[in-house]
Amino acid sequence: KGDDLRWLGYFIGRSESLQELTIDGFSGGLQRMVRALSDGIARNQSIQQVSVRSVRSGRKNGFAKIAGVLGNLTQLEKFYYSDYTHNNDPLIDCVTIGTLLESGVWKLKELSLSGSEIDDAGVAAFAHGLTGIGESLEVLDLSGNSIGSEGLSTLVATLANCTNIKRLDLNGNDFSMAAAGLRSLSDWLQTAALTLDELCLRKCEINDEGLQGLIERAANNCKVINLSGNYDITALGLRNLHTSLQSERCRLKRLHLNTSIGDDDAEIFARSLVGNKSLKHLRVVYDGDYGWEHSITLAGWFAFSNVLCDTSTVNNTYLSNHTLQELWEYNYDFYCYWGYFEDVEECERGRNLALYLQLNKYHPQHAARCKILMHHSHL
């Protein structure tokens, strides 16, 4: 209060080592705080990260009071905004953020607007500002909002300028009716001159139709796709993965899913991995809260084992999948230890699966040779 704030503003302006500034949950006196700190913040040349969380000033839209001050930080690289108390009007704040971005003063590498009840109108209010930071932006986090199909399409239309983006986080939005928006996302991934390191779509209510519109081009242009928590994706929807994983253009290294599958689906998954040289981690997560259990029998496990090590001929063993390192959620030695496999043959199959995966992971250059020596000892 009072002199304390003014002294704080003075030292902020003088500091050459201050890199992060967090303004969190002011419930009163915000205007006084802004006046006291504004000169110091404006003079500072070292702050690279600013976090604004649920700022309010007794009335709504306290964020607008500090936006002008933050606009002076030309060296800023990371900006995180969230309104976890939902005190402010998200549309007005989105307009303010859009204006800041569009000014071109900021050259952000990371922008997070998570958990702020941003809907389709909110996206339209700030998305145009992405053109001001397009070339510098590497991470965009819009998780935990209320974005739907229209908002997703609007966002995608402005991402054309974001040629260096590496991570797009849309977790926790509602894409249950967003097949059109997901197709627009898929089209952008195909045409953009980039490869996303990570596309996060966890708990987005995506169904089979949405997955069908997204997955092929996403698999060709993303290294990691997280689709876990989308409980409306069924085994039928997963069959769309077959073509994507078999494509020579597939760049996908890690895939996360939530579903319950049986032998038929396991065999489809397994066939998808024949010839695949990119996917290292396939995690189909068990979810006890939904009562899901894998109903895979020996036939299903044999399908995966055969893809990882086809023992029929030496050449087929050589041409087996030596890329996949992780299958499902747990290591198979763990399953065997707890008696997951009901008989000796199944237990042995599980151990072989674990061994093949470990060879692929720890000895990728020698995996093919080791598998050949294991099963063709006459050589």
Helix (H) or strand (E) holding 199: strand 198-200
Mind listing the pLDDT tens digit for each residue in 83-96?
766 666 788 889 98
Confidence label for 325 from pLDDT (cuts 50, 70 and 90) = very high
Instruction: Annotate 322-343 with three-state secondary structure.
Output: CCCCEECCCCHHHHHHCCCCCC
Rounded to an integer, the average pLDDT of 62-71 is 77
How far apart CA 250 and CA 280 sit, in angstroms, is: 12
Average pLDDT, integer, range 341-369: 83
CA distance 196 to 184: 16
Confidence (pLDDT) at 31: 67
Question: pLDDT at residue 286 above 60?
Answer: no
3-state secondary structure 224-242: EEECCCCCCCCHHHHCCHH
The confidence score (pLDDT) of residue 317 equals 97
Residue range 173-188, pLDDT digits in tens: 999 999 999 999 999 9
Tell me whether strands 110-112 and 224-226 are parallel, antiparallel or unpaired. Answer: unpaired
Q: Which residue from 364, 365, 370, 338 is spatially nearest to 352, judged by alpha carbons? A: 370
- If you average pLDDT over residues 135-160, what whole number do you get? 95
Average pLDDT over residues 332-342: 48
Angle CA(213)–CA(218)–CA(219) in degrees, nearest 5? 115
Q: CB 61: neighbour CB atoms within 10 A?
A: 18
Q: Is the pLDDT of residue 295 over 90?
A: no
Report pLDDT for 284: 77
Report the amino acid identity of residue 274.
V
Query: Average pLDDT over the chain, rounded to whole?
Result: 85
pLDDT of residue 356: 93
Per DSSP, helices labelled H in 169-326 are 179-191, 208-221, 235-238, 241-246, 263-272, 298-308, 314-318
State pTM to two decimals.
0.89
Give the span between the Cα atoms of 255 and 304, in whole angstroms.
16
